[in-house]
Structure 1
């Protein structure tokens, strides 16, 4: 593939946009909370415990309720997940991560719609709603029950 000046310009602008995101308040908050979480030994211990239990959980899931440790592993992984998610450093990071994802989704939507208002733009969350979302496309899955032209 040959590099044209137009492609080089697009790549440079994309790099600038990435720098703006990293230097934004949301980007800075994400990086700070990521650093705090990585430096928090208790948070790292909780993450490692959850990761190792997750491996066991996946093994148990292969056999489902017929596995002898099914109930115990299900209960333990839920407890570890709740304990991990409620740790202040991890909770703060997850909130910052969600904020950054929302910003990236909005940027993707704006860039995509600058190309075409009907372009499909992947978003990080299935609950992400765009300014043009709705059922006017007829693809809402209700079979027209919402009033769209299914």
Structure 2
């Protein structure tokens, strides 16, 4: 029986630091940081986000009683409208796009590492469509799932 060559844990950690440095110097991280700074400098975005936090606290308060609370419908409506206003701001949209792009990069790196070990390893993502591609038991058995090789 042939012995497998193993890598020292310290060497793995060193390479992981190199990888994290490469990721930190990527276009995706640069765009994320720029978009976040732009959103943080957007006075309207900050005003609406602060208002949203206050409304969200009110919503959580009435949520305890649900639809039976006298202000439930009004506060629910205000939270939805405020959320929509925030989502319509250019700086917030740019930040969300940059965040999604960075999440995709991190998922792809994690997926590449996981697939190098086994295709059945789950890799979490903030995108449910990416997770759906990689979830399941991997056996393709009675649960109806199957894991397909990613390109």
TM-score range, shorter chain: 0.7 to 0.9
1:138 maps to 140
Regions of 4+ moved over 6 Å: 130-136
Equivalent positions of 1:51-62 (< 5 A) are 51-62=53-64
TM-score scaled by length of structure 2: 0.81
1:128 maps to 130
Q: Which moved more, 1:114-123 or 1:68-77?
A: 114-123
Structure 2: gaps of 5 or more residues: 1-6, 147-151
Equivalent positions of 1:78-97 (< 5 A) are 78-97=80-99
TM-score scaled by length of structure 1: 0.82
Q: Work out whether residues 109 and 130 of structure 1, in 8 Å CA contact, stay in contact via their aligned partners in 2.
A: no
2:4 maps to none
Q: Which moved more, 1:36-45 or 1:72-81?
A: 36-45
Q: Work out whether residues 120 and 138 of structure 2, in 8 Å CA contact, stay in contact via their aligned partners in 1.
A: no
Whole-angstrom CA distance in 2 between matches of 1:137 and 1:33 = 41
Whole-angstrom CA distance in 1 between matches of 2:53 and 2:114 = 36
2:119 maps to 117
1:68-105 residue CA offsets vs partner (Å, 9 max, x unmatched): 10010011000100000111101110110011011111
1:13 matched to 2:21? The reply is no
3-state SS in 1 of match to 2:129: coil
Aligned pairs, number: 140
Query: What is the deviation of 1:123?
Result: 2.2
2:149 maps to none
Query: What is the deviation of 1:30?
Result: 0.4
Root-mean-square deviation over aligned CA pairs = 2.5
